[in-house]
């Protein structure tokens, strides 16, 4: 019976884990050995790119949060009659591929003359990543019952105090999940900066250039390993926190 699983496991080992291993090899200078590529990648020019990516990802995350939280709150705790409909409408864009959504933003920004600016890139990023922030936050808020909020009122807390002490704390797991689901992939994003920003460089666009244009496997791998390390670190922190937070 167990061997039923072997084909799949074998497949993943060869076509997922082995390739990743090869990336590590190249990052260390395969077929030679060298740490140079890591050092090169930490130089100022690459550092600027890293900074760009972090700034972009951070701004995207913040705006996604600002837009998503009120909407998630409204649907989870206020909407009542239209709740199901609104939920469907919020999930729908999720089913449309990233590329198509980015194209749609592009098609509306072009006649508005907003293309190839940093603003355009941010708008595109927020547009693409919004569902990833909204759904986890909604899932957390959903668990809070209306009667908890009513109870808080009868105990003397104003609506704002109720939000601070009852609602927001219980939504934290969702917020954290949303932040991770947006920030980490946004760091490595290249579709949006390329289509909407033209020359705005990020980790993603640099990776693209290094691999597909310059065939520079070594520097590309070094950057990628650093990126993956950051991702895994963030995930590890989340796993630790999630163990303590009641989900």
Partner 1 sequence: MAEFAVELEEVSKRYGNFEAVTNIELAIRKGEFFSILGPSGSGKTTILRLIAGLIFPDKGKIKLMGEDCTFLPPYKRNIGMVFQDLALFPHLNVFENVAYGLRVRKIPESEIKRRVLECLEIVNLDPRTFAKRKINQLSGGQQQRVAIARALAIEPAVLLLDEPLGSLDLKLRQHMMTELKRIQKNVKTTFVYVTHDQTEALVMSDRLAVINCGKLEQIGTPIEVYEKPKNKFVAEFIGEMNFIEADVCEDRLISEIGEIKARVNGLRKVVIGIRPEKIKIGGDTENVFRGKIEEKIFLGGQVKIIVNVNGIEIKCLTNHNGFREGDEIEIGWNSEEVAIFEA
Partner 2 sequence: MMRLFVFIVFVFLYAPIAFVIASSFMEDGSFTLKWFENVFEDKKIATAFKNSLSLAILSTLISVILGTTAAYAYLKTNMRFESIFYTPIVIPEITEALSLLLFYNFTSFPLGFYSVLLGHIAFNVAFVFVIVKARLAGYERSIEEASLTLGANEIQTFLRVTLPLAMPGVIAASLIAFILSWDNFIKTIFTTGPGFQTLPMLIWSQAVRGSINPTLNALTSLLLLISMILAYLYVRISAKRK
Write out the residues near partner 1 by the rule CB under 8 A: 143, 145, 147-148, 150-158, 161, 165-166, 169-170, 246
Please tell me the total number of residues recorded for the chain in this structure.
Answer: 247
Tell me: does residue 220 bind partner 2 (CB under 8 A). yes
Q: What is the rounded CA–CA span in Å between residue 77 and residue 38?
A: 49
Token pair belonging to 22: 């090869």
Tell me: does residue 8 bind partner 2 (CB under 8 A). yes
Burial class (CB in 10 A: 0-12, 13-18, 19+), 122: middle
Tell me: does residue 95 bind partner 2 (CB under 8 A). yes
Indicate the residue among 98 and 155 with the shorter CB distance to partner 2.
Answer: 98
Indicate the residue among 94 and 153 with the shorter CB distance to partner 2.
Answer: 94
Residue whose token pair is 């957390």:
140
Residue among 92, 155, 233, 247 that touches partner 2 (CB under 8 A): 92
Tell me: does residue 219 bind partner 2 (CB under 8 A). no
Indicate the residue among 107 and 147 with the shorter CB distance to partner 1.
Answer: 147
Tell me: does residue 182 bind partner 2 (CB under 8 A). no
Of the candidates 130, 117, 109, the residue with the CA atom closest to the CA atom of residue 62 = 130
Residue whose token pair is 């950051």:
230
Indicate the residue among 131 and 174 with the shorter CB distance to partner 2.
Answer: 131
DSSP code string of 114-156: -TTSHHHHHHHHHHHHHHHHHHHHHHHHHTS-HHHHHHHHHTT
Minimum Å gap between C-beta 198 and partner 2 is: 8
Of the candidates 8, 5, 138, the residue with the CA atom closest to the CA atom of residue 67 = 138
Point out which residues bind partner 2 (CB under 8 A). 1-5, 7-9, 11-12, 15-20, 22-23, 26, 67, 70-71, 73-75, 78, 86, 89-90, 92-93, 95-101, 103-108, 110, 115-116, 127, 130, 184-185, 187-188, 190-191, 194-195, 204, 207, 211-212, 217, 220-221, 224, 227-228, 231, 235
């Amino acid at each position: 019976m167990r061997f039923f699983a072997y084909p799949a496991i074998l497949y993943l080992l060869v076509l997922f884990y082995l390739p990743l291993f090869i990336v590590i090899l190249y990052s260390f200078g395969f077929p030679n050995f060298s740490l140079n590529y890591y050092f090169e990648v930490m130089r100022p020019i690459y550092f600027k790119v890293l900074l760009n990516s972090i700034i972009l990802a951070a701004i995207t995350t913040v705006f996604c949060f600002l837009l998503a939280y009120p909407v998630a709150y409204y649907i989870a705790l206020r909407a009542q009659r239209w709740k199901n409909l609104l939920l469907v409408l919020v999930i729908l864009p999720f089913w449309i591929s990233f590329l198509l959504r980015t194209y749609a933003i592009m098609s509306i920004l072009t006649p508005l003359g907003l293309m190839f600016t940093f603003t355009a890139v941010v708008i595109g990023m927020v547009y693409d990543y919004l569902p990833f922030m909204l759904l986890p936050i909604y899932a957390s808020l959903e668990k809070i019952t209306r009667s908890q909020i009513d109870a808080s009122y009868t105990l003397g807390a104003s609506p704002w105090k109720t939000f601070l002490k009852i609602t927001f704390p219980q939504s934290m797991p969702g917020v954290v999940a949303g932040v991770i689901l947006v920030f980490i992939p946004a760091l490595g994003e290249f579709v949006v900066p390329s289509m909407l920003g033209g020359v705005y460089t990020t980790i993603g666009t640099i990776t693209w250039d290094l691999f597909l244009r310059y065939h520079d496997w070594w520097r590309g791998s070094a950057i990628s390993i650093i990126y993956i390390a950051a991702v895994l670190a963030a995930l590890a922190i989340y796993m630790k926190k999630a163990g303590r937070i009641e989900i």
